[in-house]
Amino acid sequence: MSTAGSQEPASERPDRVRLIGAALLLALVLFVAFRGPWVERLQAAWFDVHQSLWPRQVATLPVTVVAIDQKSLLEIGQWPWPRNVLARLLRVIHRAEPAAIGINILMPEPDALSPERLLAQAQVEDRMLAEALRALPTHDAQLAKAVAAVPAVLVVAGTAEPTRQTLRAAPVTVHGMAPPSSDATATRLALPEYPGAVTSIDELDSRAGGWGLISAESSRGVIRRMPTVASIDGTLLPSLAVEMLRVAQRAPSLRLAVSGSEVRSVTVGRLHVPTEADGAVRVHFSPHLAQRFVSAVDVLDGQVRESELRGQLVLIGLTGVALQEYQNTPIGQRMSGSEIQAQLMENLLDGSMLQRPAWAPKLEAAVLLVLGALLLWAVPRWRTYPAALLLLACVALPILLAFGAFRWHQLLFDALTPSLSLLLFFGVLLLLTLAESTQHERRLQQLVQAQREDGARLAGELQAAQQVQTANLPRPETLHGDPRVELHTTLQPAREVGGDLYDFFMLDERRLFLLIGDVAGKGLSASIFMAVSKALYKSAMLRTPEADIGAIMVVANHEVSRDNPGNLFVTCFAAILDLESGELHYCNAGHDNPYRLHAGYDAPRRIADGDGPPLCAMPDFDYRGARTRLLPGELLCLMTDGVTEAQTPDGQLYGNQRLQHLLLELQRRGATARELVEALRSDVSAFAAGAEAADDLTILALRWHGPAGAAG
């Protein structure tokens, strides 16, 4: 059929979906593996969720922040304080013997409140007062003296422009595979770089025991990572937290382990800190803790016990309102720079930093590839509900594993990007599959419509064939004018057309020819062979009407067998009835023996001689006819095996026993030929109870009334 021939093979449709899906999956894998801006943005949000769910639990507090807070400002005065106050604060803290003191206050200019500065700005007429003021030590000198007496670390801020300030830094040694150059300078390492820096005035800066960087780049306004070492115009400078740890351990230098241009770790005395490629570490934040802070004015007033500061890493920092900008953190709390530095030192000391393995992006891309391939295999094959359950499992598995890795090992794995990619991939696959199904359904509808049209055309042709077949059958009405005989027939094909046949016609004024047959099979092929067989038999009979019925059967056997490519065969019963004498000449070619019913019989009898094989079974068989005589009023019943082989819906056969019981009842009632045919057909139909017919059904009943038309 032309419509069917134009249809796309079903196997190509899922292949097309898989091909497009594979291309999309590869694009998503590359998108995740190469970590574009959108990926980094999603990862940052995902990692923040981890810290919000499981912030760091603080066991010890090795860092104390001496806060220049609102309380201190109210009692001592507005900021900036005179630096002699800071000097006194350093001396008080030093008496408690802390491990190191970090001054998280940048002082790039001399103290404007120092006496000599006030003297220069004011017009003092009292000479003695002026000389007394000049004799006082400057505030910067007092602070410098205090800085020199304590393990102090001053801060440095990186700038985007070069500066001329002197930069001091503790020695940093680089170990490992150097960059591809003989000059293993910091500018070639993957460290944060600043062209210049702002330091405190040289009078202070030169007296410090250490110098630490306080600059840190935020990620879209959130502090997530902190550098351990940075490059200031080629000079390596540790961060404030790292430098305080160096000073606390009295370590002379820091050790930087690198591989190529990537930083592997920083070693500070006995402390070894693994880092990311740019030397940064990811801070695992804890919630804000008030226990981490003491007020500067309380320290000055002696309200803080020395034991609270002894051995501590003390960080002096500004926390008062409007003194500095608070930073956003992943746990959703804004914190001062001093608190962030304190948390960084706590992370470094207890090893609680978050780790993002260098191989994590490859693992995440591989997970996306494997789970995406599983969806690519399943979605075109499975129904939507089980496919959606598979998607849920594919999304839930990496999320649960990522949460577990963070919860118990502080490892960061991005499950959000692969999961969102899988959702997008599943949606596209679903749309592609739906589109293909819609197209396939449309093509099927076209095919069904074409098949319906072809079926209607074939049904019309079969109906026409049925009409032709029915028209070729003789009508019992042709014998109604003869009082010697009564004849009635029925033929019900199992399909539109069938393979049963019957025929009757007068050979002359006294002889009636009868024929009933059954082609092996049913349907159109059996119908065509039936028509051919009937025509050949009738032709043989009409050519030699005086011949013996057995000889006629032989001729018919030769004629039918000569052109039989399908190797079909026909069972048939042929007879010639002399309507004057009742003598019946007959020959049976493998057909069911007819029944004889008469009021004088105890039970219906059967004709049992004149037998031979079906036509076409043995082309050269020599058929012999037989003779019998009917009694006046005797009823002859011929039928095909569609009667006895009729079945119920559960497969039970009608059978000979039921047939004989019905015929006996009809014999006792003296049924006419019509009554016998109708009763037998109705009983078979009731028995079958609507089941599909197993074979064609044909019944021919003939009652011979006698030569004068009177029943005997």
Average pLDDT rounded to a whole number, residues 169-174: 94
Comparing 392 with 123, which gets the higher pLDDT? 392
What are the structural domains, with CATH classification, of the chain? 17-53+357-439 (no CATH), 63-111+145-350 (no CATH), 474-704 (3.60.40.10)
Q: For residue 218, name the pLDDT band (cuts at 50, 70, 90).
A: confident
Q: For residue 34, name the pLDDT band (cuts at 50, 70, 90).
A: confident
- Vertex 227: Cα angle to 223 and 231 (nearest 5): 130
In the predicted model, is pLDDT for residue 149 greater than 90? yes
Give the β-pairing of 280-282 and 172-177: unpaired
Q: For residue 86, name the pLDDT band (cuts at 50, 70, 90).
A: very high
- Which helix (H) or strand (E) segment holds residue 421: the answer is helix 416-472
Percent of the residues in the chain that have a pLDDT greater than 90, as a whole number: 57
Average pLDDT rounded to a whole number, residues 664-668: 93
Check if the beta carbon of residue 581 is closer than 8 Å to that of residue 707: yes
In the predicted model, is pLDDT for residue 115 greater than 70? yes
Average pLDDT rounded to a whole number, residues 128-151: 81
Average pLDDT, the chain: 87
pTM listed for this prediction: 0.64
Check if the beta carbon of residue 3 is closer than 8 Å to that of residue 182: no
Residue 539 is predicted with a pLDDT of 82
Residue 129 is predicted with a pLDDT of 57
Task: List CB contacts of 283: < 8 A, sequence separation 6 or more.
Answer: 223, 224, 225, 226, 340, 343, 344, 347, 353, 354
Average pLDDT rounded to a whole number, residues 124-137: 61
Q: 380-417 pLDDT, tens per residue? A: 888 888 989 999 999 999 999 999 999 999 999 999 99
Alpha-carbon distance of 125 to 685, in angstroms, equals 141
In the predicted model, is pLDDT for residue 8 greater than 50? no
In the predicted model, is pLDDT for residue 262 greater than 60? yes
Residue with structure tokens 């010890």?
A: 60
Residue 14 is predicted with a pLDDT of 59
Q: 421-454 pLDDT, tens per residue? A: 999 989 988 888 888 888 878 888 888 888 888 8
Q: 451-470 pLDDT, tens per residue? A: 888 877 776 666 666 666 66
Residue 11 is predicted with a pLDDT of 47
Residue 610 is predicted with a pLDDT of 81
Q: For residue 481, name the pLDDT band (cuts at 50, 70, 90).
A: confident
Average pLDDT rounded to a whole number, residues 153-157: 96
Q: For residue 10, name the pLDDT band (cuts at 50, 70, 90).
A: very low
Average pLDDT rounded to a whole number, residues 520-534: 70
Judged by DSSP in three states, 301 sits in coil
Q: 245-256 pLDDT, tens per residue? A: 999 999 999 999
Check if the beta carbon of residue 345 is closer than 8 Å to that of residue 214: no
Residue 570 is predicted with a pLDDT of 87
Average pLDDT rounded to a whole number, residues 612-631: 90
What token pair was written down for 518? 């059954």
Residue 566 is predicted with a pLDDT of 67
Count of Cβ atoms closer than 10 Å to residue 267 Cβ:
16
Q: Which of 61-65, 387-391, 505-509, 539-543 has the lowest mean pLDDT?
A: 539-543
- Vertex 257: Cα angle to 251 and 263 (nearest 5): 120
Check if the beta carbon of residue 490 is closer than 8 Å to that of residue 470: no
Average pLDDT rounded to a whole number, residues 231-241: 94
Comparing 99 with 537, which gets the higher pLDDT? 99
Q: For residue 7, name the pLDDT band (cuts at 50, 70, 90).
A: very low
Q: 315-327 pLDDT, tens per residue? A: 999 988 777 778 9
In the predicted model, is pLDDT for residue 21 greater than 70? yes
Residue 186 is predicted with a pLDDT of 46
Q: DSSP for 230-290? A: EEETTEEEEBHHHHHHHHHTT-S-EEEEEETTEEEEEEETTEEEE--TTSEEE-------G
Q: Which of 153-162, 267-276, 433-442, 525-534 has the lowest mean pLDDT?
A: 525-534
Q: Which spans in 273-383 are helix H?
A: 296-300, 337-350, 360-378
In the predicted model, is pLDDT for residue 25 greater than 60? yes
Average pLDDT rounded to a whole number, residues 263-278: 94
Percent of the residues in the chain that have a pLDDT greater than 70, as a whole number: 89
Alpha-carbon distance of 564 to 661, in angstroms, equals 39
Check if the beta carbon of residue 606 is closer than 8 Å to that of residue 660: no
Comparing 547 with 677, which gets the higher pLDDT? 677
In the predicted model, is pLDDT for residue 3 greater than 70? no
Q: For residue 59, name the pLDDT band (cuts at 50, 70, 90).
A: confident
Q: 356-374 pLDDT, tens per residue? A: 998 999 999 999 999 999 9
Task: List CB contacts of 93: < 8 A, sequence separation 6 or more.
Answer: 66, 101, 150, 299, 309, 314, 316
